[in-house]
Structure 1
Amino acid sequence: MAQLGGAGQPIIILPEGTSRFQGKDAQRLNILAGKILAETIRTTLGPKGMDKMLVDSLGDIVVTNDGVTILREMDIAHPAAKMLVEVAKTQEDEVGDGTTTAVIIAGELLKKAEELLDINVHPTIIAMGYRQAALKAQEILEDISIEANDKETLLNVAMTAMTGKGSEKAKEPLADLIVSAVMQVEEDGEVNKKNINIQRIQGASVDESHIVNGIVVDKSRADNSMPKNIENAKIALLKYPIEVKDLETDAKIKLTDPNQMQAFIENEEQMIKDMVQKVIDSGANVIFCQKGIDDLAVHYLSRAGILAVKRAKKSDMERLEKATGAQLVTNIEDLSAAELGEAGKVYEKKIFDDVLIFVEECKDPKAISIILRGSTRHVAEEVERALDDAIGVVASTMEDKQVVIGGGAPEIEISRKLREYADTISGREQLAVNAFAEALEVVPKTLAENAGLDSIDAIVDLRAAHEDSPYMGLDVFQGEVMDMRESGVVEPQRVKKQAIQSAAEAAEMILRIDDMIAAKGGLEATGDDMGDMGGMPGGMPGGMPPMM
């Protein structure tokens, strides 16, 4: 990239092949990328949202309507689109649900900003207006939130999160499993989702899913000669291998006599025997080892009637600590009865094609497992994603004890109050606040469209109903505006708060970009190609966005 100097000589600033877009061109391309991404996942929103089939380069298939899964599986190249993907990932990490909502709000904010840019409203003014509107929206959200600390509300939150996903037909029993699991692992008002292990097994209907009062480990016994079932289990958790350690440095041992070789082998065997004896002396009858266990050690453990599992995952070891009360031992010399955990029974069981170790009847476990069934792998995977979302929202509700009504009710109410707020603002920021208010209506509008309803009629009816009550939402099954409190459609306040905040911040950041400079190949999906929506790679029809 060159620029002429004073003497007519070119001054090389950037290497040849560098792409650069400035001013309105840069803004137009970034906004277009955001709009395309939002449109891609928009049809998945709500109880009647559709699914997407994603096929990777190896031919693996994912069928889902989970927003963050779709965005994670898509091979997105455009930098502005990647920023919106980060919005979805943050939403997933913070709350566990509402990813689609966050992205489509961000996309609509960019769309409304484009309209303001066309009438020469400065991007900084739009960004400032959006910031003011987002802060006001959080205040309004606080006002329309409802306090929730009873089990019935938690069940409704879980069922709302699962509606429209593969788990919908069994949402009531699954919601009961999730609420029971979250309440069990809750400690001091906080819930760590990692303490709930979902063990997915295909080959049965979703209805056969159940909760385990303990932990399920996706491993088998170290040897079939070991006992298959242990009652009144005393459990040792070892991070130390029960085998002779390799030397950290290269070393050679020169043996001149066969007796020396025999003594060397016997010494190794004695070391392993001593380690096994240490386990036996502690009183343990079940061992979970994060490292390896020597074949000779397996033999001695089996003779002592001890059930051993080797190379257990770190996450399983942490959950076993929480469930059994055992302490993870990093040196076998420190193993004693004080470090052991307890469980009513530990046994190995084969379910479909999976051999699992069950650690059950734990006393007040703070980590538990859910056995999730599904007729096929794809069904089980989608139900697992639904459960993961539901666990996130139930945990958020338990921590915050605040919910909002669903069905598009909060977005319509915030939109209505923001219009009133806009009238109090002088200057062009008023236009941006009004645009923010209009953008939020994309949520109920999309819910209506995905249910096959007239979106204009739905919005008009909702606006009229909100003159009387802030809890009126769209019942997509009845096709009518109803009081969503009575229908039990509720969501955690944190889902909406995070979605609006993240969407506003992402839109604001994208709007403030007026210059895009990229190395060769870095912006291949920009320029005029962004407007060409025809054709997938390989000649497949369907119009996938060229930014992917």
Structure 2
Amino acid sequence: MGNQPLIVLSEDSQRTSGRDAQSMNITAGKAVAESVRTTLGPKGMDKMLVDNSGNVVVTNDGVTILKEMDIEHPAANMIVEVAETQEDEVGDGTTTSVVIAGELLAKAEDLLDQDIHATILAQGYRQAAGKAKEVLEDMAIDVGAEDTEELEQIAATAMTGKGAETAKDTLSSLVVRAVQTVADDDGIDTDNVKIETSVGGSVSESELIEGVIVNKERVHDNMPYYKEDANIALLDTAIEVKETELDAEINVTDPDQLQQFLDQEEKQLQEMVDQLKAVGADVVFCQKGIDDMAQHFLAEEGILAVRRAKKSDMKRLARATGGRVVSNVDDITEDDLGFAGSVGEKDIAGDSRIFVEDVEEAKSVTLVLRGGTEHVVDEVERAIDDSLGVVRVTLEDGKVLPGGGAPETELALELRDYADTVGGREQLAIEAFADAIDVIPRTLAENAGLDPIDSLVELRSEHSSGNQTFGLDAYTGDVVDMQADGVVEPLRVKTQAVESATEAAVMILRIDDVIAAGDLKGGSTDDDGDDEMPPGGGMGGGMGGMGGMGGMGGAM
């Protein structure tokens, strides 16, 4: 070869390897964690996110912040996935999981600087995570499905620090009632709790409707507004004249033929309406269209009809009323009809909606959330989503932990003792894991304006004395019994957060080579159409494409 260099990658590709690659990825992960860290806890601050269109989101919900941010760096996206997994699995604890992942990376960086190999770190972190799960399960407190008061405390804890906090007692009661109502032998599907938002009024005026609210109006003004003791027909077919499947051309030679053709169509529509009337339907929900003439016939028969209802609404209606969705009007029977004590069109903040209430056994319910502004309503909705998730998980698992940093303080103490029993360099990794877990009580104290060192010392002192349930009261600054104060959260929130954070940190630490194609630099395009180098030197040096928050430029 004559000592000619062998070029494997294209000129546009960038490669970063060894310690530089690890450092770059760790920096990206830490930056993501730092961006949400100040939102943790009851005294956490909010973030304002503005996208390119000028739409504004004000929230302190970790997963919402990370989704709204325009993150391009691949390692940073791994941390975002931690939050998304936490949201999907549990519904709460997204900020906790991300902050732990960021701190695990920060502690690992110190050990890498001391020439501890990444593989040893990964092994130590995995051992620590396994031990942490055991410790948390030993700490867990049993909760039964009938413990409504404790379930309400769990729901209220999930709302604390969010926009719903002012009315958390009212809302937590609504959430628990909603979840208990939709629970059945197959488990709990929170999709059966529909959330309707309404701008106007206060958060405390929110209510639970044991039934379904359909965001539609009657299709004809002459139809009744209200039906009592209503038999409900659910159709996923149109009440219209069926079109021919083949392309057909009809030649009309005189007006009488046209009239006959129109009369025949009218007769078909009349027969459909007659069939609905014959089986005793008082209300019709149609997933597709309703012909104008059919609307007239339905109104004449005093039937309240709704068209183009969403598929999800049809499922909820079937579940709530006991009806069956029918695909052909000719096949409908009396047994297919659902029943509700009342169906009526009502106004919510100027919007007309159909309320289906007073059902015999409401296995589908609707939460109507109110608030003074759109931003308030949106944040309340996010808080309710979290609360629904934690109540569901608690009912499924039947185990909870005290809040206020109590589990993390106990974990850190137990892991330090465990590290002494482990030989080799993994001991250092387990100790680093214990230090990283301490970030949660420390951050809770910082966000509450307290001295984090004093708070940690007091917490450790109580836990060393055997008071496992003692945590930090962010409002008073005292270390108190969290279980007695009713500050509890599901066991799965913590175990999932630790597992997800550990897996993400280990995956990032094991990467020692980053090879990026030219179009993955994360740079912007200038007026000439040429790629500019991103801030930080692309993949090769630092954050690369952390992109900022949508329309906020490079705010990161």
Q: Could you tell me the percent identity over the aligned residues?
A: 57
Q: Deviations over 1:223-256 (max 9, x none)?
A: 1211100000101111111112344554433334
8 A Cα contact 2:28 2:543, kept in partner: yes
> Which stretches of structure 1, 4 residues or longer, exceed 4 Å deviation after superposition?
531-540
Distance in 2 of aligned mates of 1:402 and 1:505: 24
Q: How far is 1:101 from its partner?
A: 0.5
Unaligned residue ranges in structure 2 (runs of 5+): 523-537
Return 237-246 or 200-209, whichever deviates more.
237-246
The one-letter amino acid paired with 2:182 is: V
Residue equivalent to 2:539? 526
Distance change >3 Å, CA 100–CA 225, structure 1 → 2: same
Displacement of 1:122: 0.8
- Of residues 311, 316, 320, the one that matches 1:319 is 316
> Contact between 1:189 and 1:399, CA under 8 Å: does it hold in 2?
no
Aligned partner of 1:57 in structure 2 is 52
Give the residue type in structure 2 aligned to 1:217: V
1:505 pairs, out of 486, 500, 503, with 503
User: Which of 151, 154, 168 is equivalent to 2:151?
Assistant: 154
Residue 78 in structure 1 maps to residue 91 in structure 2: no
Partner of 1:479: 477
Give the Cα–Cα distance (whole angstroms) in 1 for the partners of residues 148 and 267 of structure 2. 57
Structure 2 residue 133 is the aligned partner of structure 1 residue 138: yes
- State the distance in 2 between where 1:228 and 1:444 align: 55
**Tell me, what secondary structure is at the counterpart of 2:23?**
helix
C-alpha contact (below 8 Å) 1:189/1:398 kept by paired residues: no
Distance 1:16 1:274, change over 3 A: farther
* CA apart distance, 1:264: 2.4
CA distance in 2, matches of 1:396, 1:415: 25
Superposed counterparts of 1:422-433, under 5 Å: 422-433=419-430
| Preserved CA contact (<8 Å) 2:472 2:479 | yes
Asked if the contact 2:153–2:487 (Cα under 8 Å) also holds between the matched residues in 1, the reply is: yes
Greater Cα shift, 433-442 or 523-532: 523-532
Alignment of 1:377-388 (within 5 A): 377-388=374-385
One-letter code aligned to 2:24 = L
The Cα of 1:467 is off from its aligned counterpart by 1.0
Cα contact 2:49–2:550 (8 A) shared by 1: no
In 2, Cα distance between the equivalents of 1:67 and 1:227? 46
Deviates more, 1:322-331 or 1:528-537: 528-537
The answer as to whether partners of 2:62 and 2:94 remain within 8 angstroms in 1 is yes
CA contact (8 A) 2:71 2:548 kept: no
- Map Cα deviations across residues 441-492 of structure 1 (whole Å, 9 max, x no partner): 1111110000001111111111111012111100011101111111110000
The yes-or-no answer on 1:103 pairing with 2:128 is: no
State whether structure 2 residue 298 is matched by structure 1 residue 301. yes
Partner of 2:489: 491
CA spacing shift, 1:449–1:383, aligned 2, 3 Å: same
Displacement of 1:257: 4.0
CA distance in 1, matches of 2:348, 2:78: 42
Structure 2 contact 16–539 (Cα < 8 Å) conserved: no
Give the drift of 1:24: 1.2
- Give the corresponding residue for 1:129: 124
Residue 253 of structure 2 is aligned to residue 242 of structure 1: no
Residue in 2 that maps onto 1:207: 204
CA RMSD of aligned residues (A): 1.8
- Give the AA of the match of 2:98: V
From 440, 449, 454, the counterpart of 1:452: 449
Q: Give the C-alpha shift of residue 352 in structure 1.
A: 1.2
Are 1:90 and 2:62 matched, yes or no?
Answer: no
Does structure 1 conserve the Cα–Cα contact (< 8 Å) formed by 2:49 and 2:56?
yes
Find out whether 1:544 has 2:555 as its counterpart.
yes
| 1:139-179 deviations in Å (ceiling 9; x for gaps) | 11110000011111101101111111111111101111111
Task: With the length of structure 1 as denominator, give the TM-score of the two structures.
Answer: 0.95
**1:283 matched residue in structure 2:** 280
Match 1:167 to one of 164, 178, 182: 164
Residues in 2 aligned to 1:93 and 1:507: alpha-carbon distance in whole angstroms: 19
**Structure 1 counterpart of 2:164, which letter?**
S
The offset of 1:531, in angstroms, is 8.8
Shift of 1:263: 2.6
Match of 1:115 in 2: 110
SS where residue 96 of structure 1 aligns?
coil
Q: Aligned letter for 1:49?
A: G
**Conserved? CA contact 2:409–2:438, under 8 Å:** yes
Residue 22 (str. 1) matches residue 17 (str. 2): yes
Q: Provide the rounded CA distance (Å) in 2 between the counterparts of 1:522 and 1:491.
A: 40
Does residue 33 of structure 1 match 2:28? yes
In structure 2, what is the equivalent of residue 330 of structure 1?
327
Query: Structure 1 unaligned runs (5+)?
Result: 1-5
Q: Is it true that 1:43 corresponds to 2:38 in the alignment?
A: yes
Query: Is the Cα–Cα contact under 8 Å of residues 234 and 324 in structure 2 kept in the other structure?
Result: yes
Q: Is the 8 A contact 1:533 1:544 kept in 2?
A: no
